Amino acid sequence: MSSPTISARACGIDFGTSNSTAGWLRPGQSPLLALEDGKTTLPSVVFFNAEEDRISYGRAGLDDYLEGYEGRLMRSLKSLLGSSLIDGQTEVMGRALPFRELLTHFIGELKKRAEASAGRNFDTAVFGRPVHFVDDNQAADQQAQRTLEETARAIGFKEVSFQFEPIAAAFHYEQGITNEELVLIVDIGGGTSDFSLVRLSPKRASLPNRQDDLLANGGIHIGGTDFDKYLSLNTIMPLLGYKTRLQNNSEVPSSYYFNLATWHTINFNYTRKIWMELQDVYRDAREQDKLDRLLRLIEHREGHWLALRAEEAKIGLSSMPSVTLSLDRIHQGLQHDIERSDFDTAVNHLVDGVSGTVQQLLQDASLSTEQIDTVFFTGGSSGIPLLRQSIAALLPTARTVEGDLFGSIGAGLAVEAQRRYGN
């Protein structure tokens, strides 16, 4: 990859569901800016510390939460974009906090850290966006981008534009190739799976207009947090009474478990109304020992801790045949073994959705599988074995390249920022 001789005027911002990055092209240095303790990723986390009346972000926010400080942990903030929640609010530290203000808190902090790392201010940026914020709803999708643009302008960006995240990853990959390739970019992020079919080459990298090289884009609202969710529902939530029966043989209501397994709805279970409902459910439950665990979890507000355990299991099972989770906050001494096959069963329907989207993308571009030279993987959940196997089965002749799973998009957005706005 050739290094620029003059620093770019604009930066690239990858506001991710799980992690965020910022990129800026400058001579002789990596395009990614350090955002937290020398690391180029900032987990998309805000923790409102009620005990010390302060806000912490990223890993520091997670650490504060896990150390037991009283407060509210908010994660998967990007999932608010395009959802009905965006115009709502939640209670934080005794006051109503609009979700739009929550986005402003985090993205403002991301800009502040990028500027501190770069040693300069930024008033122009290219933001990444998924191919679809919302599936099959163009109006909601456009509103999601408008919300992100409004937030960016509110924190001080005067000029804002957007690029699809998989295309940004493609432009980053292109910096290091020596021949022309037809590439399928597979970006499995925290909230969405996005794909682009792109013609890349060293000669074409400097062209100002690449529209003819973009053969097709596609995406589906399935991402890493969905893999966490269904792994949790299928392997962890049964320990808390999910799918168990009441005395009348109906199931314990599933809504409590779905809320606990979904990052941005965990706090819905902490209301007085839900607590009173659960007392009635408990009295009617056939397996009260499991409901005891659920009640303990909610009483102590350990939902985010449990969601982190599910994410930990997903990461472990992406490289190991089995994991053992310590769940002592649910019940003293409780451990739970999860096999790779359990993971595959839990997420098989999600992988089918991703594979179907890739197949449709190839049809849209009128390409056969044999015409694809390279599959480039990026995004934190792109290493899930069943997903890799599924895409390999679709494209058996393509070579596989793994990019920077957390940094390719931010680096590519930096390339795009320099291309659009110059030095």
**The pLDDT value given to residue 423:** 87
Per-residue pLDDT of 51-78, as tens digits, reads: 999 999 999 999 999 888 989 999 989 9
Answer yes or no: is 198 within a domain.
Answer: no
What pLDDT, on a 0 to 100 scale, did the predictor assign at position 211? 83
CB-side neighbour CA atoms (13 Å) of 328: 3
Tell me the average pLDDT of the chain: 94
Q: Give phi and psi for 57, each to the nearest 5.
A: -130, 160
Q: Is residue 138 part of a domain?
A: no
pTM over 0.85: yes
What single letter denotes the amino acid at residue 410?
A: G
User: Which pLDDT belongs to residue 123?
Assistant: 97
Is 302 part of a structural domain of the chain?
yes
User: CB of 391 within 8 A of CB of 383?
Assistant: no
What CA–CA distance (Å, rounded) separates 118 from 269? 41
Token pair, residue 40, equals: 């180029």
Is residue 313 a part of any domain in this protein?
Answer: yes
Residue 269 maps to a domain? yes
What is residue 171's predicted lDDT score, i.e. its pLDDT? 92
Digitized pLDDT (tens) for each residue of the chain, 423 residues in all: 455 668 999 999 999 999 999 999 999 899 999 999 999 999 999 999 999 999 999 999 999 998 889 899 999 899 899 888 899 998 888 889 999 999 999 999 999 999 999 999 999 999 999 999 988 899 999 999 999 999 999 999 999 999 999 999 999 999 999 999 999 999 999 999 999 999 999 998 877 778 889 999 999 999 999 999 999 999 999 999 999 999 999 999 999 999 999 988 998 999 999 999 999 999 999 999 999 999 999 999 999 999 999 999 999 999 999 999 999 999 999 999 999 999 999 999 999 999 999 999 999 999 999 999 999 999 989 999 999 999 999 999 999 999 888 999 999 999 999 999 998
Residue 75 bridge partners (DSSP): 45
Please say whether the beta carbons of 379 and 17 come within 8 A.
Answer: no
Total number of domains constituting the chain: 1
Rounded to whole angstroms, the Cα distance separating 104 from 151 reads 6
The vertex-417 CA angle with 415 and 422, nearest 5°, equals 100
In a domain, 135, yes or no: no
Of 361, 10, 4, the C-alpha closest to 187 is 361
Three-class secondary structure of residue 361 per DSSP: helix
| 203 in any annotated domain | no
Residues 6 or more apart whose Cβ sits within 8 Å of residue 338: 231, 235, 313, 317, 322, 323, 324, 325
Domain-embedded: residue 360: no
Domain, as residue range, for 270: 225-345
